[in-house]
Amino acid sequence: MEKIIANLNQGKVSPCYLLYGDEEYLIAESVDRIIDKLVPETDRDFSLFFLDGEDAETEDLLKLIETTSLLGNRKVVVVKNSALFSSRHNTADIIQKIISNIDDYPDKAAKYFHVFLKISGMSLEDLQNNGWKKISDEQWREILEGENGAQDLEKWLPRILEICTNAAFKTRAPEGGEDDAERIMMLAAATGNCVIFTAPMVDKRKKLFKMIAESGAAVYCGKSASAAAQKDNLIKEAQHLLQKYGKKMSPAAWTELGKKTGWDLRRSLAELEKLIFFTGEREIIEQNDVLELVGKTKEDSVFDLTSALGQKNIAAALSALKALLEQGMHPLMILTMLARELRLLIQAGILLDKKILPPCKTNAEYGWFQKNVYPLIADRKEKSNITADLIFSQHPFVIYNAWKNCGNFSLSKLTDLLHDLLEIDLALKSSGADPRILLEKFLVCACAAYDGKKTLNQ
């Protein structure tokens, strides 16, 4: 990665970049570093575009590449979780990824299942309603490239189908052949535009991979082979994150974070982000901050649940709900936390609608919010009315999330969801209804696609 950054500093830009592997945080950080070198922040509304590689067609990508930016400068297209680098030779690895993530990270397992469907040529509809049982054992052995995969089918396939169905999962027929590799590379080079691909795994025999790797623009972002290398990698990425926000950690805080996270890159950096946000303007993160914030599993799961609700992330919401129930949190307490989040979203939307706050930006960083938006709220605290009392009393990071996510819902949708929670509350207190089923149904409804009504920030 450092070689890529060095080349960019010298003005050497490749038509395509590829960041692949298990470490999603490391991939996202690397993408941000490349974007920072290629696209000035003031130009990003017109020169930076994102595609979901799981759903977008190759033709969509080619159309984006061939058209120039409205500003006349370089256009950068980021294709997340691209399936262009997978093939049937990856099938065994993909199945293993599905199985290893299905319990703890169902949304991640669903992404790998999407890749599996693309390279196998099947669709979700082919397999639903026991359709997978109509496929012969011989056919499954051919699809899964072996006897073992076919024998384990009943252990993971019904579960992943359930996850994907609940998440309104959509798939398309596989597409993107070898000719597309040359079309993408040649078109990007000819127009001066740039494509940044990310992928969970790759088949290094694919033509597009070879073309990008030969130019030195393919970077593996995966787990390090040794514990020492893993720790060194974490320290390097953590220092980069701390510098970004003007923060430092005391030696004792470093040691405490390592003890609580086992130096796991993904978890450690996620916890470090929370520490950065919740220490506010204080420069040094101390050991007591780590002791107070990191490792509180119920609190973390509550945060995950309310964040997933605000972002309409069905898979993440269901996963967080499962964790809370398994940790013993009472369903009525979960209802209370969900109702609180909905009220925060409503109040943030009202402040936005009255132009007390600027329009929400889903990609705005917390530091930017603290400097540009939160002062407006602080100035209004003395003038707060009954509809704004709750949000004015919250930590800035809580307000930040409510402001960032309120545009995902219409006001009528949020009020309807509050009414739904009231009905669930009555059902839990007056009947023998299964709390988990009621809460899961609520989350699926709450996180459903746009409801067609005017949203709070429109």
Residues 107 and 192 in one domain: no
Residues 260 and 303 in one domain: no
Query: Please, which pLDDT band fits residue 54 given cuts at 50, 70 and 90?
Result: low
Residues 252 and 368 in one domain: no
How many whole angstroms separate alpha carbon 28 and alpha carbon 189? 24
Lowest mean pLDDT among 4-18, 33-47, 374-388, 416-430: 374-388
Residue-level pLDDT at 284: 93
Summarised one tens digit per residue, pLDDT across range 311-355 is 898 888 898 888 788 777 788 888 888 998 999 899 888 888 888
Structural domain contains residue 171? no
Domain end among 124, 148, 166: 166
Residue-level pLDDT at 325: 83
Q: Judge whether residue 238 has pLDDT over 80.
A: yes
Residues 92 and 52 in one domain: no
How many whole angstroms separate alpha carbon 216 and alpha carbon 193? 17
Residue-number span of the structural domain to which 154 is assigned: 88-166
1 contacts 219 by C-beta, under 8 angstroms: yes
Query: Please, which pLDDT band fits residue 196 given cuts at 50, 70 and 90?
Result: very high
Residues 198 and 142 in one domain: no
Residue-level pLDDT at 285: 93
Q: Judge whether residue 206 has pLDDT over 50.
A: yes
Structural domain contains residue 126? yes
If 0-12 CB within 10 Å is exposed, 13-18 middle and 19+ buried, where does residue 86 land? buried
Structural domain contains residue 458? no
Structural domain contains residue 188? yes
Mean residue pLDDT across the chain: 80
Residues 157 and 215 in one domain: no
CATH number of the domain where residue 14 is located: 3.40.50.300
Residue owning tokens 């030696």:
251
Residue-level pLDDT at 452: 45
From 297, 317, 299, select the one nearest 307 (Cα to Cα): 317
Summarised one tens digit per residue, pLDDT across range 272-283 is 888 888 788 889
Region 6-29: mean pLDDT is 87
Query: Please, which pLDDT band fits residue 300 given cuts at 50, 70 and 90?
Result: low
Residue-level pLDDT at 147: 47
- Residue 163: in which H helix or E strand, if any? helix 153-166
Region 235-240: mean pLDDT is 84
CATH number of the domain where residue 242 is located: 1.10.8.60
79 contacts 61 by C-beta, under 8 angstroms: yes
Provide the H-helix boundaries in 297-434: 297-311, 314-326, 331-353, 366-372, 374-380, 389-392, 396-405, 411-430
Region 423-451: mean pLDDT is 84
| DSSP at 220 | E
Q: Judge whether residue 177 has pLDDT over 50.
A: no
From 362, 316, 323, 309, select the one nearest 111 (Cα to Cα): 316
251 contacts 286 by C-beta, under 8 angstroms: no
Top pLDDT among 322 and 92 is at: 322
Q: Judge whether residue 458 has pLDDT over 50.
A: no
Q: Where are the beta strands (DSSP E) in 94-211?
A: 194-199
Residues 274 and 364 in one domain: no
Region 214-241: mean pLDDT is 77
Q: Judge whether residue 89 has pLDDT over 60.
A: yes
CB half-sphere exposure, 363, CA atoms < 13 A: 8
Structural domain contains residue 455? no
Domain end among 247, 275, 295: 295
Residues 161 and 192 in one domain: no
302 contacts 413 by C-beta, under 8 angstroms: no
Query: Please, which pLDDT band fits residue 454 given cuts at 50, 70 and 90?
Result: very low
Residues 405 and 425 in one domain: yes
Summarised one tens digit per residue, pLDDT across range 110-122 is 877 877 887 777 7
Structural domain contains residue 148? yes
Residues 288 and 374 in one domain: no
Query: Please, which pLDDT band fits residue 150 given cuts at 50, 70 and 90?
Result: low
Residues 347 and 438 in one domain: yes
Query: Please, which pLDDT band fits residue 178 given cuts at 50, 70 and 90?
Result: very low
How many whole angstroms separate alpha carbon 15 and alpha carbon 193? 7
Residue-level pLDDT at 390: 65
Residue-level pLDDT at 179: 60
Q: How many domains does the chain have?
A: 4
Region 41-47: mean pLDDT is 87
Residue-level pLDDT at 224: 59
The amino acid at residue 216 is G
Residue-level pLDDT at 172: 45
Structural domain contains residue 68? yes
Residues 323 and 369 in one domain: yes
Region 28-57: mean pLDDT is 85
| DSSP at 174 | -
Long-range contacts of 211-216 (CB under 8 A, 24+ apart): 211/16, 211/181, 211/182, 211/185, 212/14, 212/16, 212/17, 212/18, 212/185, 213/18, 215/14, 215/15, 215/16, 216/3, 216/4, 216/7, 216/14
Sequential DSSP letters for 51-87: EETTT--HHHHHHHHHSPPTTSS--EEEEET-STT--
Region 151-169: mean pLDDT is 75
Query: Please, which pLDDT band fits residue 388 given cuts at 50, 70 and 90?
Result: very low
Structural domain contains residue 457? no
Residue-level pLDDT at 421: 92
Domain end among 277, 295, 313: 295
